[in-house]
């Protein structure tokens, strides 16, 4: 189960209450659980599994890691007059749309997302109706190699931190990651 008890205020850079002021609880997608368990174990069971330096930095790092993983679709990485690059918050919207594609109960989608009105949830349902045909598997099983990569990465990260070799806000070597990526 996941409990959403707090939110991050991007402007004030501090923790705040959720928009509604209420805690919401829901079951974690079963196929996501192995990754979250590995991330939780990396933190020795303490604290958040994702550090929150800033949403902008998180989005930049997300796109950077997608690029390194070979996910190079321009619509995720490049802005234009009609689209913006992928942001961290887009992951939330994607999850809501995927739940609607799968056919989840609209009220459950509303509750999980914390929407105060059903009209907001309907946006995701309409989007799902537009993309449902030929969509493929919703929330597929994560590759085992991804979870093993997290464990190997964690060992390397701890070793590098001890040696003082890392420089990025989130512990990544930002210079090395930027070399094989086009300017955005």
Does 26 have pLDDT greater than 70? yes
Taking Cα atoms as reference points, which of 184, 183, 174 lies closest to residue 65?
A: 174
Q: What is the DSSP string of 81-141?
A: TTB----HHHHHHHHHHHHHHHT--HHHHHHHHT-SSHHHHHHHHHHHHHH-TT---SSPP
46-87 tens-digit pLDDT: 877 776 667 678 888 889 888 887 889 999 999 999 989 998
């Amino acid at each position: 189960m996941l409990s959403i008890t707090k939110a991050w205020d991007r402007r004030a850079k501090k923790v705040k209450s959720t928009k509604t002021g209420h805690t919401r609880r829901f079951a974690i997608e079963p196929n996501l659980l192995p990754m979250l368990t590995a991330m939780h174990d990396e933190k020795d069971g303490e604290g958040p599994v994702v550090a929150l330096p800033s949403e902008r930095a998180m989005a930049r790092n997300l796109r950077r890691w997608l690029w390194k993983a070979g996910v190079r679709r321009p619509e995720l990485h490049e802005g234009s007059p009609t689209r913006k690059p992928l942001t961290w918050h887009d992951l939330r919207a994607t999850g809501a749309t995927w739940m609607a594609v799968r056919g989840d109960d609209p009220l459950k989608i509303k509750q999980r997302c914390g929407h105060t009105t059903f009209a907001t949830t309907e946006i995701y349902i309409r989007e799902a109706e537009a993309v449902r045909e030929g969509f493929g598997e919703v929330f597929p099983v994560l590759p085992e190699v991804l979870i093993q990569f997290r464990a190997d990465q964690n060992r390397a990260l701890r070793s590098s931190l001890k040696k003082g070799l890392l420089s990025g806000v989130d512990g990544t070597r930002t210079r090395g990651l930027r070399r094989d990526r086009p300017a955005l």
